[in-house]
Amino acid sequence: MGRRCKNNRPVIPAEMLGQEAGGRDGPFRLLAVGAHLDDVEIACGGTLARAVAHGHEAKILVLSRSNYDNYDGAVRRTYEAADREGKLAAEILGADLEVIDFPTKDIPHHSQTVEAIEERLNDWRPNVLFTHWPFDTHQAHQNTALSTISAGRYFTSILMYEPMMPGARSYMAFRPQIYVDVSEFISKKVESLKCHETEYRKYGERWIQAIESRCRLRGFEMGVEYAEAFEAVRLAWNL
């Protein structure tokens, strides 16, 4: 499984993210599919920032406008706020952003969802596709993962995000298999997260600290300061 770091953990080969673009096959294209505006930044913001810094292309595809109410009718996030926050965060990471209008809480695993993703995959042709982990306890995250995997059936590199609390409290264990060193890009990741002011207010500074601490843990496992980890559906490595 490719190159291994000093702690014997598999890492994404250097030619995929760590080299400058313009080699044998030109820039890589990374597409990260998330259910909501902030999911991608939490899970792989550092990886996207690293890729862009090396001349590769990154795009974020979000399946809902991410506005939502509480069960008692209290508005927790408006569309206008989510849209503004998402655009600012994507700009910091250097990624393009597209938002599709499926229901925020109830993104379906349905042919319409699969085909919406598939249309964009066929149009943009990413080298690496990122999505949620299907055992996440958030129903919209689960269905985004399943729909993305279905839509990407002809693509050979699909990686799944590590879930974050509260969706991470699953009956299954996430298996960190692929590591990306984001030590130089952790500040951009954190800055992008703080753009999501509605979620930042909801969870507080401990939210940021928890995400940063997880990156520090994965970095310790990899032998670097900060890292992001992924579980592979499959991964092509072109030597």
Residue 22 has pLDDT above 70, yes or no: no
Q: What is the pLDDT of residues 140-158, one digit of tens each?
A: 999 999 999 999 999 999 9
Select the more confidently predicted residue: 41 or 202. Answer: 41
- At 220, the pLDDT band (50, 70, 90 cuts) reads very high
The model carries a pTM of 0.89
- At 189, the pLDDT band (50, 70, 90 cuts) reads very high
Q: What is the pLDDT of residue 25?
A: 62
Q: What is the pLDDT of residue 10?
A: 52
Q: How many CA atoms lie within 13 A of 185 on its CB side?
A: 25
- At 11, the pLDDT band (50, 70, 90 cuts) reads low
Total domains, the chain = 1
* CA-wise closest residue to 137 among 171, 182, 185: 171
Q: What is the pLDDT of residues 101-131, one digit of tens each?
A: 999 999 999 999 999 999 999 999 999 999 9
Residue 176 forms part of a structural domain: yes
Pairing of strands 29-34, 128-131: parallel
Query: How many helices (H) and strands (E) would you count in the chain?
Result: 8, 9
Residue 3 forms part of a structural domain: no
Residue 15 has pLDDT above 50, yes or no: no
Q: What is the pLDDT of residue 203?
A: 86
Give the 3-state secondary structure of residue 89.
helix
Residue 9 has pLDDT above 70, yes or no: no
Residue 31 forms part of a structural domain: yes
Domain membership of residue 23 as a residue range = 14-234
Residue 111 forms part of a structural domain: yes
Residue 2 forms part of a structural domain: no
- For residue 86, what is the domain's CATH number? 3.40.50.10320
Query: Token pair of 63, please?
Result: 């399946």
> What is the arithmetic mean of pLDDT over 128-140?
96
Q: What is the pLDDT of residues 46-84, one digit of tens each?
A: 999 999 999 999 999 999 999 888 888 888 889 999 999
Arithmetic mean of pLDDT over the chain? 90
Select the more confidently predicted residue: 14 or 133. Answer: 133
Residue 1 forms part of a structural domain: no
Give the 3-state secondary structure of residue 59.
strand
Q: What is the pLDDT of residue 12?
A: 54
Q: How far apart are CA 94 and CA 58, in angstroms?
A: 7
Q: How far apart are CA 230 and CA 163, in angstroms?
A: 10
Which H, E and C letters describe 151-213, residue by residue? HCCCCCCEEEECCCCCCCCCCCCCCCCEEEECHHHHHHHHHHHHCCHHHHHHHCHHHHHHHHH
Give the 3-state secondary structure of residue 83.
helix
> What is the arithmetic mean of pLDDT over 206-217?
96
* CA-wise closest residue to 126 among 161, 99, 154, 101: 154
